[in-house]
Chains A and B, each alone.
Chain A
Amino acid sequence: MASALAPSLLDLIGSTPLVELPRLTPKPTVRIFAKLEGQNPTGSIKDRVAKAMIDAAEASGELEPGRRLLEPTSGNTGISLALVAKLRGYPLTCVLPANVTEERRRLLRLYGAGVVDSPPEEGSNGAVRLALELAERDPSLFMPFQYANDANPRAHYEGTGAEIVAALDRVDMLVAGLGTGGTLMGAGQRVRESFPDVVVAAAEPLPGDEVMGLRSLADGYVPPILDVSKLDRKLLVSNEESVAGLRHLLEREGIFGGVSSGAVLHATLRLAEELDEGVVVCVLADGGWKYLSAGFWEADDVDDAMSRSVWW
């Protein structure tokens, strides 16, 4: 079968499977399908975004051969960029909150990326702030900047969303995690074009006090690509609820998901309760591998185990 031969790992990004979750749906008339983005080459949905951003920058001529890339990330985008950068010949530095799990930091180093720590108490917003400062100071760096790069939602419009509408003849609800807004904006728009009444719903984390930023409210950061008016629902999910969700996924359906996948499942089940019948698609951004060192899997006090780290 010729299609089984890929010229490069980058050609295996996307076209992820959709699997039904019959043991988790609250009622048999509501069918829930999970899009397993952990099956991308580096194990997360961000492979789509990293490849799209580099493709776009090469096509526009902005990114000259061998130029150093800089990107703020809580982990996944950095790891995906590290793969693309390695195969395309760019050095990469990632700005990462100092308190992410060790797996993320190690994977970046193994792929050959440099890591700059941002202050742990500032969470992901602190990584954004520091990366913007570094890029400003050193114009030789090229920052794809997932938070403001149109190639991010476009990757989900042309990939994630298009794959969902090709696979299903009905979608009543689309649920995904909110980080940059790329999945929800891009896939949301594509699914809405085919199914105008779809409810596009975001699950977002309630971070621990220790990573919420301690300086001022002006540290709040809304990614330029995110237009909240395009969301129909936006649910806050606590660390305990996220962990309950990922334990559920593993115990009931055998799906080993990451923290945001647990949050997305929690939001999906809450919203599915509101439907009498229909089709719900939830996007599970990564697998649990990069969080194995974290203490929450078997912890009784999940909140205490999670409050000091950045999870997505």
Chain B
Amino acid sequence: MAAVRIPPTLRAEVGGVRELEARGATVRAVIEDLAERYPPLGALLLAGGELASHVNVYLGGEDVKTLDGLDTPVYDGETIILLPAMAGG
């Protein structure tokens, strides 16, 4: 089981909670598990089976894009953070 932190923009899709538990051995499997349970959330996170460009997914505090993407392995007890991409400057 991994803990998945939900940003404010997505909480309406999951009944208002800040964090969910999800199953899966990879980031893809975890997100698919969420998508199955919360189809509107899945539609926002995935576009054609890949991560939507405006969404960042972090595992252990690192963006999965600089790890192995959706194929990055997820171990029991790890935390995944979903965030909308934010700019600064």
Majority secondary structure of chain B interface residues (helix, strand, loop or mixed): mixed
Nearest residue, chain A, Cβ from B41: A217
Q: Using an 8 Å CB-CB cutoff, how does the interface string of B49-89 with A read, 1 for contact, 0 for none?
A: 00011111010011101100000000000000101111111
**Would A179 and B87 count as touching, CB distance under 8 A?**
yes
User: B3 on the interface (CB 8 Å rule)?
Assistant: no
A124–B86 touching, CB < 8 Å: yes
Task: Give the residues in chain A near B87, CB-CB below 8 Å.
Answer: 124-125, 128, 147, 179-180, 221-223
Interface size range on B against A: 20 to 34
Q: Is the CB of B89 within 8 A of A209?
A: no
A 153-193 contacts with B by CB, 8 A: 177-180, 182
- Nearest Cβ distance between residue A291 and chain B, in whole angstroms? 14
Closest to A311 in B: B88
- When C-beta atoms are compared, the residue in chain A nearest to B9 turns out to be A217
Asked whether, in the complex, the Cβ of A123 is within 8 Å of the Cβ of B81, the reply is no
Known A179-B88, A180-B89; further 17 A-B contacts with Cβ < 8 A: A123-B86, A124-B89, A125-B84, A125-B87, A177-B88, A179-B89, A180-B88, A204-B86, A206-B83, A212-B84, A217-B52, A217-B55, A221-B84, A231-B65, A233-B62, A234-B62, A234-B65
- Chain A interface (Cβ within 8 Å of chain B)? 46, 73-74, 76-77, 123-125, 128, 146-147, 177-180, 182, 204-207, 209, 212-223, 228-229, 231-237, 260, 310, 312
